[in-house]
Structure 1
Amino acid sequence: MSEAQLPSDGVEQARELFFRQGRGPAPWIAPHISRSWQRSRPVDRQCIDPEPMALARLSERREHARRLLNCAQPELDGLAEHAVGNGCVVILSDASGLILEEIGSPDFLPKAERVALQPGVEWSENHRGTNAIGTALAEREALMVLGGEHYLVQNGALGCAAAPIFTGRGELAGALDISGETARVNQHALGLVRMAAQQVEHRMMLAEAGGHVLRFHARPSLIGTAREGLMVIEGGRIAAANRVALELFGRSWEDLLDLDARDFLGANWPRMEDRRSLLTLPGGRQIATVMERSATPGSPRTANRRMHAPEGTATAEADDVVPLLERAVRVLNEGVSVLVNGETGSGKEVFSRRLHAASRRKTGPFVAVDCASLPETLIESELFGYEDGAFTGARRKGMAGRIRQAHGGVLFLDEIAEIPLALQTRLLRVLEERVVMPLGGGQGVAVDFDLICATHGNLPALVEAGRFRADLMYRVAGFGVCLPSLGRRSDRHALIARLFLESGGAAKHLQLESDALEVLAAYRWPGNMRELRSTLRVVVALADMGDAVTTEMLPEHLRDACATSNEEYPSRISASPATVQLTDIKRCAIDDALNACDHDIANAARRLGVHRSTIYRHLAHRRHKQDYSRQIN
């Protein structure tokens, strides 16, 4: 029986046994509460609530925990929305249990202060007995302490859920807590702080990392998110790892830290830098990995460049895409609509599907409607449905409509700007009342869904032109997401490497060579993500199992664009002299092998130890250069 299921009379029975009779409280309370009560015996149950430490001293402690505070701030802001709506407060403590920050419901904050639940007060078990902050730090796990489970009687009206925050070496950094009246704190609150603590750990590891960072996950799409495994290698040894990494490898911090990286990753692990590859786990399971050199600890990891966007719209560029997704999830989970803006092909629907998959509605349907592709005469029936006989050609039993199909899930309206002005009023009414009226009359049907919209247009400009209702714009644009074009993303190299694996490169054990990656990253991609994915699928389809994908294997228009760019702008040539020299050596070696084997391709491939397709691509590249030279001359 979990702590959430324990009846209040069970807790009273446990308190009678433990505090009055001096007997063990099991099985009336959860094991972690029983252990905490035992640890809390030295605490005076008649103690007076302490005053917070002096502000100057608290400022010193906050400065000492500056990195924790900085990395936790986005989570505090996100959890605050939940806390305010539920009459609770969100608390961040350091590793000793000292409360550093507290934000949340104005109604509950005075109640929290009356029991010294405020910044400057230490809530370790040594000072306050059993409580969520102190007990989570002592037990090293996320947990709840509800009502009478608290050791001190004066805290019996509190309900608290807390999760510890760990460094990459398994040391406690602090704890996140949601506290309120007992009825306000539940398993949902516990899940929120557990997830938020994982996000903070992820940020802290990346902020503190030196040397190399290995990112990995069994699902390649999760690399680059807070759910990825992280391992830091410094001086050839494993210096840090997050809890996801420990779970994936089936290890603990004690038996993983300070190991020689060669013993764990193989002698060639330095060659993994800036590449996507497969790592074999104990037991033979393979996971996708990418190795990158970290920034100097404490220095900015990426330039904080921003595109111009309307006020109130969050803008994503490069590494900000993942944090933006996290913020959008929190907003969507509160029932606020999300508007995704971006160029055609920039991945608006992909982003929206990921948003749905990470949201509270992930088990419900994702119903997508492309408003631009539907004829104006069909949009109304597609969205709202119709009754039997509503119009000529209607189905005999009618149709529910896409809005009703989205009940319990997410409705995604792509190209929302294309909805005819006459239907915008009906859509606004449905969004406001959450009741849909089918064509042809009939009973209104209540619907419950979250809304995501997308457009490549400028809704405020359309409102000014009288083509879009202002009240509908404010309803669908509760939170704005502006996706950057592929050409403006500074993480193009890592993104392309990941998509290459996801497009079949991992399944065929292909290796994307650095020269090919440079050409792909240098191309301007007018079709954005859609064009990139299509190109990568072609490259993978034409490659043989186990191939090393080089520049010669890329589509001709990419190579030509790169060559033209390099001729026009020599200073932009991204390939290093060493890379160019290595390519020349490889081509000379193939030519020498062909001459030695009298141009027998099979013998030349065996002589070089490569696949025949490598020789064929070399010959095709040479023919292309000869044809190009003839055209010039």
Structure 2
Amino acid sequence: MQPWAYPVDLSKIRARWQQFVTDRRLDPALDPLVAASWARCFPRLNPLAPPALPCLDEQTLERVRLALFDLIATARPLMEDLHQFTEGSGLAIALLDGAACVLDVLGDPGIVRAVEAVGLRPGVYWGEGHVGTNAFALALLERTPAQVVGAEHFVALYHAWVTTAAPIYGLDGQPLGAIGIMAPAERAQPDTLGMVMAAARAIENQLQAEANLRENHQLLAELQAILEAIDQVVLVLNAQGHVIRLNRTATRVLGLDPSGILGRPLTDHIRLPPSFQEALSDPQAHREAEGALIVDGAPLEGWLGLHAVTEGRRRLGFVLTFRRSEQVHRMVARLVGAQAMMTLADIPGRSRAI
């Protein structure tokens, strides 16, 4: 039922359904989504007979729910909010997976019992091929919000009901499931469509936010692993000069407790050479030189590096690196010592050619 078709005339809808079932004629005023669905259902279903509803056993349903844990955990609080908002109004709120299998149903006890009696219960498939025209199936099949009122349902068993649903898209852009409402047909309202659309978008936004959070956690873990793999002092500063990250080498060489330096200004414990201190105000700073860090009043000689972290023209912070002088000298000696000269005495052999 399109929102512009309200107020609903249930008897007129029933007459259109009767005309199609009897003569296979589609009324031009019929909702195009419903008309297309009726045409698909006619060869497969008897509109006058109760549908044969496939239902998962408890163990299989539990496996399906476990596989869709994130969807259910995200949708359930929103379903409870909807129920609280509509409590006493005779609405049953349902969550389905991408195959139109009912995962959860919530509502007042009386309406839940009523919809369960006609098949809207966990584990039952509400696809068009099993139930006929209904909003849950149309939302997933047509990938659009849908509302099916009274005799717009192809199977006569559901003529006393209105179903309203909206698809929930996963991060890959494919329908992950659907959220919808089932209620007595006389309670059909166009506002219900907007309500389920808002709920579906809220679930999608929450799923996206949780995915972004997981990705950020992974990136932070990778960053920390990279820092720990670097055999020199590494301090990451934000744009205000506060220490936001450091590696274990920094705590060992500088003799600082991470809990005492993280989140605090670098200058609380460490003083940089003047040229490096000035570079902290340069959004494009990139400096390396020999110098001394003054750590809690004690000088440490070594090789300093300061590199700005930017996003476009915006300064995000700095990365400060430091190697002790003796570490640099050992590295240089190792490299120079590796360039040994060969003499004729190094060539073995006692032949005439040698």
TM category (shorter chain) comes to 0.5 to 0.7
The Cα offsets for residues 161-218 of structure 1, whole Å up to 9 and x where unpaired, read as 110001233201000011111122312221111001001111222333499xxxxxxx
Which residue of the other structure, out of 26, 43, 46, is the alignment partner of 1:44?
46
Give, in whole Å, the separation in 1 of the partners of 2:84 and 2:277: 51
Task: Identify the residue that residue 62 of structure 1 maps to in structure 2.
Answer: 65
- With over 3 angstroms needed to count, the CA separation of the structure-2 counterparts of 1:587 and 1:8, relative to structure 1, is closer
- With over 3 angstroms needed to count, the CA separation of the structure-2 counterparts of 1:163 and 1:566, relative to structure 1, is same
1:85 match: secondary structure: coil
Task: Identify the residue that residue 165 of structure 1 maps to in structure 2.
Answer: 168
Which residue of the other structure, out of 181, 203, 206, is the alignment partner of 1:200?
203
AA of the residue aligned to 2:183 = G
The 5 Å alignment of 1:73-152 reads 73-152=76-155
Question: How many pairs are equivalent?
Answer: 246
- With over 3 angstroms needed to count, the CA separation of the structure-2 counterparts of 1:13 and 1:44, relative to structure 1, is closer
Task: Identify the residue that residue 32 of structure 1 maps to in structure 2.
Answer: 33
Counterpart contact for 2:243–2:266, Cα < 8 Å? no
The Cα offsets for residues 477-522 of structure 1, whole Å up to 9 and x where unpaired, read as xxxxxxxxxxxxxxxxxxxxxxxxxxxxxxxxxxxxx62xx36999
Which residue of the other structure, out of 6, 9, 19, is the alignment partner of 1:7?
9
The 5 Å alignment of 1:174-213 reads 174-209=177-212
Give, in whole Å, the separation in 1 of the partners of 2:66 and 2:213: 22
The 5 Å alignment of 1:40-439 reads 40-41=41-42, 42-45=44-47, 46-50=49-53, 52-209=55-212, 294-296=216-218
2:39 match: secondary structure: helix
Give, in whole Å, the separation in 2 of the partners of 1:16 and 1:70: 42
- With over 3 angstroms needed to count, the CA separation of the structure-2 counterparts of 1:55 and 1:25, relative to structure 1, is same
1:203 match: secondary structure: helix
Give, in whole Å, the separation in 1 of the partners of 2:123 and 2:181: 17
The 5 Å alignment of 1:457-496 reads none
- With over 3 angstroms needed to count, the CA separation of the structure-2 counterparts of 1:81 and 1:44, relative to structure 1, is same
- With over 3 angstroms needed to count, the CA separation of the structure-2 counterparts of 1:34 and 1:70, relative to structure 1, is same
Counterpart contact for 1:144–1:160, Cα < 8 Å? yes
Give, in whole Å, the separation in 1 of the partners of 2:277 and 2:135: 56
The Cα offsets for residues 325-362 of structure 1, whole Å up to 9 and x where unpaired, read as xxxxxxxxxxxxxxxxxxxxxxxxxxxxxxxxxxxxxx
- With over 3 angstroms needed to count, the CA separation of the structure-2 counterparts of 1:519 and 1:4, relative to structure 1, is farther
Give, in whole Å, the separation in 2 of the partners of 1:68 and 1:579: 50
- With over 3 angstroms needed to count, the CA separation of the structure-2 counterparts of 1:87 and 1:520, relative to structure 1, is farther
Query: Could you say what the CA RMSD is over the residues aligned between the two structures, in angstroms?
Result: 3.5
2:218 match: secondary structure: coil
* 1:36 positional shift: 1.5
**What percent of counterpart residues are identical?**
24
The Cα offsets for residues 519-567 of structure 1, whole Å up to 9 and x where unpaired, read as 6999xxxxxxxxxxxxxxxxxxxxxxxxxxxxxxxxxxxxxxxxx9544
The Cα offsets for residues 134-165 of structure 1, whole Å up to 9 and x where unpaired, read as 01111211121111111111111111211000
* 1:67 positional shift: 1.6
Task: Identify the residue that residue 24 of structure 2 maps to in structure 1.
Answer: 22
* 1:569 positional shift: 5.7
* 1:10 positional shift: 2.3
Give, in whole Å, the separation in 1 of the partners of 2:60 and 2:183: 27
1:24 match: secondary structure: coil
1:145 match: secondary structure: strand
TM-score normalized with structure 2 length: 0.61
- Of structures 1 and 2, the larger Rg is shown by 2
Give, in whole Å, the separation in 1 of the partners of 2:94 and 2:160: 17
* 1:39 positional shift: 2.0
Where relative contact order (Cα < 8 A, 6+ residues apart) is larger, the structure is: 2
Counterpart contact for 1:51–1:116, Cα < 8 Å? no
2:209 match: secondary structure: helix
Task: Identify the residue that residue 494 of structure 1 maps to in structure 2.
Answer: none
AA of the residue aligned to 2:152 = E
The Cα offsets for residues 430-474 of structure 1, whole Å up to 9 and x where unpaired, read as xxxxxxxxxxxxxxxxxxxxxxxxxxxxxxxxxxxxxxxxxxxxx
Counterpart contact for 1:87–1:108, Cα < 8 Å? yes
Give, in whole Å, the separation in 1 of the partners of 2:59 and 2:277: 56
Give, in whole Å, the separation in 2 of the partners of 1:59 and 1:79: 24
- With over 3 angstroms needed to count, the CA separation of the structure-2 counterparts of 1:584 and 1:197, relative to structure 1, is closer
Higher strand share: 2
Counterpart contact for 1:88–1:179, Cα < 8 Å? yes
1:160 match: secondary structure: strand
Counterpart contact for 1:96–1:122, Cα < 8 Å? yes
Give, in whole Å, the separation in 2 of the partners of 1:187 and 1:107: 23
